[in-house]
């Protein structure tokens, strides 16, 4: 069956039937979901001091080794932005879906923690988290202490020396997956298992360009599992998805929940 492109409600009856009878729903989210909370994507133009830097050049272990204060300051600035943003209707709708299907696996490429703040439990964070820094040398997790620079300092966009590890005195690094680093093995294994066992996939706000995350819907499609793409723009998944819902996640997802379970909403 050719993909169905849908731009206005109500949604296709076949899609709604699949959603209501789904036993295991896999949801894969990308930067487009967080962008609607006011968080710029990795590819957006920067501002202030940071507009002189290429984010890709700061997101490497080599960059951290060469200038820890510059890299830590960049990520502290990003985290300060995130903490001033709130989950949007897409985050809340995904959390609501978890109460309506027998099993939901949420896999995200985002590092902002907004899914958790909206109430989604057990989020599989493929690229780590801005909120879980750890020691570069021994891997010990770092909890903020009174000696850490306040978040307001980061807002000024200045480089900041990273805190030191309380176990080995090594430098604390951001808890994100940098270019050239492997994804967390346990997280990736769980995501792959979900792609191989689910009976419906929602791909939300992602360009489907970043691998290995982009493999997950392809794995599901190869098994004959229906894949629903939710995105305002065309992506590489357009010609393969079972259904294409053209629009922002914050508009489409709450409507999916409302139409899927009108007696609950």
Q: Which of 115, 127, 131, 142 is catalytic?
A: 127
Query: What's the helix, strand, coil split of the chain in %, to 5?
Result: 35, 15, 50
Residue 196 annotated in ligand binding:
no
Angstrom distance (rounded) from CA 106 to CA 168: 35
Phi/psi for 62 (5° steps) reads -65, -40
239 is in an annotated binding site: no
Cβ atoms of 69 and 160 within 8 Å: the answer is: yes
Cis amide linkage into residue 212, ω under 30° from 0: yes
Q: 109 among the known binding-site residues?
A: yes
189 is in an annotated binding site: no
Pairing outcome for strands 4-6 and 103-108:
unpaired
The response to whether 88 counts as a known ligand-binding position is no
Using the CB atoms, write b or e for 190-221: b if 16+ within 10 Å: ebeebbeebbbbbbbbbbbeeeebbebbebbb
Residue 110 assigned as binding residue: yes
Q: Is 85 annotated as a binding residue?
A: no
Query: Among this protein's residues, is 127 annotated catalytic?
Result: yes
> ∠ CA 39-198-99 to the nearest 5 degrees?
60
Annotated ligand binding at 140? The verdict is no
Question: Rounded distance, CA 209 to CA 165, Å?
Answer: 36
- The verdict on whether residue 258 carries a ligand-binding annotation is no
138 annotated as belonging to a binding site for a ligand: yes
112 is in an annotated binding site: yes
Q: Is 22 assigned a ligand-binding role in the annotation?
A: no
Specify binding-site residues for NAD(+): 109-112, 205-207, 231-233, 249
Specify binding-site residues: 75, 78, 109-112, 135, 138, 165, 168, 205-207, 231-233, 249
Specify binding-site residues for substrate: 75, 78
Specify binding-site residues for Zn(2+): 135, 138, 165, 168
- By annotation, the residues acting in catalysis are 127
């Amino acid at each position: 069956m050719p993909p169905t492109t849908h731009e206005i409600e109500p949604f296709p009856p076949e899609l709604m039937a699949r959603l209501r009878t789904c036993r295991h729903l896999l949801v894969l989210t990308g930067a487009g979901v967080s962008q609607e909370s006011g968080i710029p994507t990795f590819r957006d133009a920067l501002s202030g001091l940071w507009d002189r830097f290429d984010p890709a050049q700061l997101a490497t272990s080599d960059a951290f080794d060469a200038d820890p204060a510059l890299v830590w300051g960049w990520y502290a600035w990003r985290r300060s932005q995130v903490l001033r943003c709130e989950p949007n209707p897409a985050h809340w709708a995904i959390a609501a879906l978890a109460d309506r299907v027998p099993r939901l696996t949420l896999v995200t490429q985002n590092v902002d923690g907004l899914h958790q703040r909206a109430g989604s439990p057990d989020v599989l964070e493929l690229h780590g988290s801005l909120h879980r820094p750890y020691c570069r040398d021994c891997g010990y997790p770092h909890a903020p202490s009174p000696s850490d620079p306040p978040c307001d300092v980061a807002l000024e966009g200045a480089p900041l020396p990273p805190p030191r590890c309380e176990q080995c005195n090594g430098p604390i690094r951001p808890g994100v997956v940098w270019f050239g680093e492997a994804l967390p093995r346990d997280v990736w294994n769980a995501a792959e298992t979900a792609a191989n066992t689910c009976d419906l996939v929602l791909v939300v706000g992602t360009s489907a360009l970043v691998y290995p995350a982009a493999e997950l819907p392809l794995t599901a499609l190869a098994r004959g599992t229906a894949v629903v793409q939710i995105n305002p723009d065309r992506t590489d998944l357009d010609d393969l998805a079972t259904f294409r819902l053209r629009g922002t996640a914050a508009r489409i997802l709450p409507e999916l929940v409302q139409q899927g379970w009108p007696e609950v909403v």
